[in-house]
Amino acid sequence: MKIPVHQIMTRTVFILLTLGLTLPASAQREIDPTRFEQSIVSFESQDKVSPPPQGAIVLTGSSSIARWNNKAAQALAPLTVIARGFGGSVMEDVLYYLDRVAINYKPRAILIYEGDNDTGLYSVPEDKILSQFEEIVARVHSELPDTRIYVMSVKPSVARQAVWSAAQRVSASFKAVADRDSQVYYIDAASPFLQSDGTVMTDIFVEDGLHLNDKGNQIWGQLIKAALMPVEASFE
């Protein structure tokens, strides 16, 4: 009996998942940065109504930044910040929209949170995530040579424990860039969310086990402010 091709593919996927394997990222979900075009246009519309100041600190990245956009200014006061997070994004998206979410603002510093969806949602190869970040760094250095870059490690979560090892390796690669580049600062966004036994706290997330609740956002804001203040406070 000839088995239809779609049945063969379905069975193959089932077997791979049963064995704890995954298909190549390209076979799972394609990444199309233009899916965020309307979000970026919305930021630009806001800028026309209320032009943000130059020389501020741009915050960009995925939902951990995006869901915090409206709270960032108060949490990080007296630092002047421009929150430009767009939820569901990956490092490739920040690279694609780098001019429009960061460089065009002529900021004194840019803070980036990516790597979470890269490893947890799209299974982007770790070396590709790093190369995209390095390209961002190179472009900022070229166009805004005095601008500092803060890169956050991937935060732990209940929902993505299965890919935590990959996330840690990606974070380590970010730290390696910061260790050799005096304009890049690494922020440990993992340790503040871990218990004494090394497991992730469970009372800092909303129901999905991924996004932060009020308690989690309080910790989030504190760790970001603690990382920014030593250098950035003197520029206010």
In tens, the pLDDT along 202-228 reads 999 999 999 999 999 999 999 999 999
**Reported pTM:** 0.88
> What is the pLDDT at residue 29?
67
pLDDT higher for 234 or 11? 234
Sign of the torsion angle spanned by Cα atoms 161, 166, 167, 171: positive
pLDDT at residue 16 greater than cutoff 90: no
pLDDT at residue 9 greater than cutoff 70: no
Let me know if residue 222 belongs to a domain: yes
For residues 177 and 128, give the distance between their C-alpha atoms in angstroms, rounded to a whole number.
14
Nearest to 59 by CA among 125, 108, 1, 26: 108
pLDDT at residue 158 greater than cutoff 90: yes
pLDDT at residue 48 greater than cutoff 90: yes
Phi, psi of 187 (to 5 degrees): -115, 120
pLDDT higher for 144 or 8? 144
Let me know if residue 15 belongs to a domain: no
Let me know if residue 208 belongs to a domain: yes
Mean of the pLDDT values across residues 35-58?
97
Let me know if residue 10 belongs to a domain: no
> What is the pLDDT at residue 3?
43
| Domain count of the fold of the chain | 1
> What is the pLDDT at residue 30?
83
User: How many angstroms from the chain centroid is the CA of residue 168?
Assistant: 13
Are the beta carbons of 122 and 62 closer than 8 angstroms?
Answer: no
Mean of the pLDDT values across residues 183-205?
97
For residues 222 and 226, give the distance between their C-alpha atoms in angstroms, rounded to a whole number.
6
Beta-carbon count within 10 A of 222 CB: 13
Out of 18-22, 42-46, 131-135, pick the least confident.
Answer: 18-22
Tokens 């166009």 appear where?
A: 143
For residues 66 and 60, give the distance between their C-alpha atoms in angstroms, rounded to a whole number.
8
Let me know if residue 228 belongs to a domain: yes
Let me know if residue 13 belongs to a domain: no
Let me know if residue 5 belongs to a domain: no
As a whole number, the mean pLDDT across the chain is 90
Range of 15-19, 85-89, 150-154 with top mean pLDDT: 150-154
Looking at residue 198, which CATH number applies to its domain?
Answer: 3.40.50.1110
pLDDT at residue 7 greater than cutoff 70: no
DSSP label of 194: B
Q: Half-sphere exposure of 220 toward its Cβ, with a 13 Å CA cutoff? A: 27
Q: What is the pLDDT of residues 107-123, one digit of tens each?
A: 999 999 999 999 999 99
| pLDDT band of 5, cuts 50, 70, 90 | very low
Percent with pLDDT over 90 in the chain: 86
Let me know if residue 12 belongs to a domain: no
Provide the domain limits for residue 37.
27-235
